[in-house]
């Protein structure tokens, strides 16, 4: 009986230790910093919108990417000036690493290890964006796969995998695209991991002679976590608007949630090209700089 009691006590003790260890593992992560997380999500919104614009701009500027002879002119509306003077619009050094008319086509956008500043947006970039086109840009169903090599946009490092695909036309006749990112990191404590799926409509794309009145309308969602293990999701509740050559999103609203509970909303403004936005948490509203 005594031997049984000792064994029973040992077993109960081991079970207790195991239960305690499990309880430690199941402890809730540290509380979510809502404002910081919303800042991180906003950075992702800006970077992905900017990424699409950079790729669209550069893709139009090289006949090889459009599947045309190198002697061809730039796409109508972008004009010879853009084709011959891309450095007036982007500081990237563009290297096409595949033979002409060979798909997939590999293109490297190199912003330099020390970085460079875009002439139009004054946005500092460094590192590389590596593109792989499965067919000519803007051809039916074309897509481009995107990876990053020590890429920074402003003060934010961004990596992972993204893909942009042409998905046809809107009823107004504007070109539309899907943009998906997975395994991306924004490298800040507020958003450590991120994935998103968005639809981008290239508005005013029919006014071919003037690209400066173009803008991109963005809808969709994202989800991710911070460095403490807190999970949250983003829903674009009013389409985001990114004007051509504007460094910021200038219009639209997003909602941040966790476990289906609304945490906050952010309003990007009324169309002005600036870094200001309005953040609302628990009914309290304040203006912030992105």
> pLDDT value at position 85?
62
- How far apart are alpha carbons 136 and 67 in whole angstroms? 5
> pLDDT value at position 79?
40
> pLDDT value at position 116?
93
> pLDDT value at position 12?
45
> pLDDT value at position 30?
53
Domain locations in the chain as residue ranges: 33-247
> pLDDT value at position 24?
38
> What is the dihedral sign for C-alpha 109, 162, 197, 257?
negative
> pLDDT value at position 186?
74
> pLDDT value at position 250?
94
Mean pLDDT of successive 10-residue segments in the chain (290 residues)?
A: 44 47 42 82 89 89 81 46 63 90 93 91 92 93 96 88 95 94 77 90 70 89 87 94 92 90 91 92 90
| In contact, 158 and 152? CB cutoff 8 Å | yes
- How far apart are alpha carbons 116 and 192 in whole angstroms? 25
Q: pTM value?
A: 0.82
């Amino acid at each position: 009986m005594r031997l049984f009691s000792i064994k029973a006590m040992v077993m109960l003790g081991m079970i207790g230790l195991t239960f305690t260890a499990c309880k430690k593992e199941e402890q809730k992560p540290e509380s979510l910093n809502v404002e910081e997380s919303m800042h991180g999500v906003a950075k992702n919104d800006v970077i992905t919108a900017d990424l699409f614009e950079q790729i669209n701009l550069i893709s139009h500027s090289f006949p090889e990417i459009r599947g045309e002879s190198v002697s061809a002119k730039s796409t109508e509306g972008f004009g010879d000036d853009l084709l011959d003077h891309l450095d007036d619009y982007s500081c990237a050094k563009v290297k096409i690493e595949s033979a002409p008319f060979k798909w997939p086509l590999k293109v490297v956008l190199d912003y330099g290890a020390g970085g460079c500043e875009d002439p139009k947006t004054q946005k500092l970039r460094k590192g590389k964006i590596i593109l792989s086109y499965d067919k000519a840009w803007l051809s039916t169903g074309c897509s481009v796969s995107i990876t990053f090599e020590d890429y920074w946009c402003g003060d934010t490092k961004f990596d992972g995998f993204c893909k942009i695909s042409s998905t046809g036309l809107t009823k107004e006749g504007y070109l539309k695209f899907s943009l998906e990112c997975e395994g991306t990191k924004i490298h800040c404590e507020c958003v450590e991991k991120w994935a998103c799926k968005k639809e981008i409509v290239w508005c005013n794309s029919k006014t071919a002679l003037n690209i400066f009145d173009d803008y991109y309308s963005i809808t969709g969602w994202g989800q991710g976590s911070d460095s403490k293990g807190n999970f949250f999701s983003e829903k674009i509740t009013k389409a985001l608007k990114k004007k051509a050559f504007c460094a910021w999103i200038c219009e639209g609203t997003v909602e941040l949630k966790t476990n289906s509970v609304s945490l906050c909303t952010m309003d990007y403004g009324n169309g002005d090209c600036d870094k200001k936005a309005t953040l609302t948490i628990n009914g309290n509203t304040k203006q912030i700089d992105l």
